[in-house]
Structure 1
Amino acid sequence: MKKFIRSVGFALKGIRHAFATQLNFRIQTSVALLAIAMGLYFDISANEWHWVTLCIALVLMMELFNTSIETLVDLVSPGYNELAGRVKDVSAAAVLIIAIFTLVTGAIIFLPKILLLFHVA
């Protein structure tokens, strides 16, 4: 049990580090909190909550992976290296793909509710 608690502590340390050093992680966390608030306000269904929480988890996980990859690349290649740059670019592209998926999913869930709120639909 001690080993498990220590591993959770290390994971929380990683989240704190990402939050303290990565602007994108802070922005994504803020957007996640906004999505949760909107879900509560619009009283979304259990199925919709599933998609919202999945999107939040995917975006935050992907940003953590991206941060890890960038840190590792900086460690092994501190100077300019074209291949290192490609690794970072591809890692950032993975975050972008998940962010686009999340944006589309959020629009599918929330846009009809927002439009009804303003009697546009």
Structure 2
Amino acid sequence: MDLHRLAPAERLRSFACALRGIAFVFRSQPNAWIMAFAIAVVVAAGILFRVDRLEWALIALAVFLVVIAETVNTAIEQLTDLACPERHPLAARAKDAAAGAVLLAVLFSVLAAAMVFGARFAGIVRHLL
């Protein structure tokens, strides 16, 4: 599809389709709501601790990486279920690999959160003790 030749209305339709896909992920995947809650907590902590621009960039990278991975995982699950409604080892491997990508993204996000907030939380704990 040549985006340079799309009329503005067609571009808006493409954008609407993308938003519908993201909304589907949040409507259909229980983990997406856990992810949304975690994002809200991290953003609130970032505001509370007044993180700097570089730390916000790391937080944004981590957040978007997890959302992107979960979105792609959902797409792969949907396509796999369509192509192979019965259980098949190759379909299971595809789903497992996609879920593995989400796990890796989450692990990166936990590491990023530890880098940004670890010393701050440690300082609070030291102060309380």
Q: Say yes or no: TM over 0.5.
A: yes
Cα distance in 1, alignment partners of residues 34 and 14 from structure 2: 26
Percent identity of equivalent pairs = 32
Q: Is the aligned partner of 1:64 residue 2:71?
A: yes
The equivalent of 1:92 in structure 2 is 99
TM-score, reference length from structure 2 = 0.89
Name segments (4+ residues, structure 1) moved above 3 Å: none
Cα distance in 1, alignment partners of residues 44 and 11 from structure 2: 32
1:1-121 matches, cutoff 5 A: 1-119=8-126
Cα distance in 2, alignment partners of residues 16 and 97 from structure 1: 23
How many residue pairs are counted as aligned between the two chains?
Answer: 121
Task: Name structure 2 gaps, 5 residues minimum.
Answer: 1-7
Deviations along 1:6-54, one digit per CA (max 9) or x if unpaired, are 1111111111111111011111111111111110000000000000001
RMSD of aligned Cα (Å) = 1.3
TM-score, reference length from structure 1 = 0.95
Task: Name structure 1 gaps, 5 residues minimum.
Answer: none
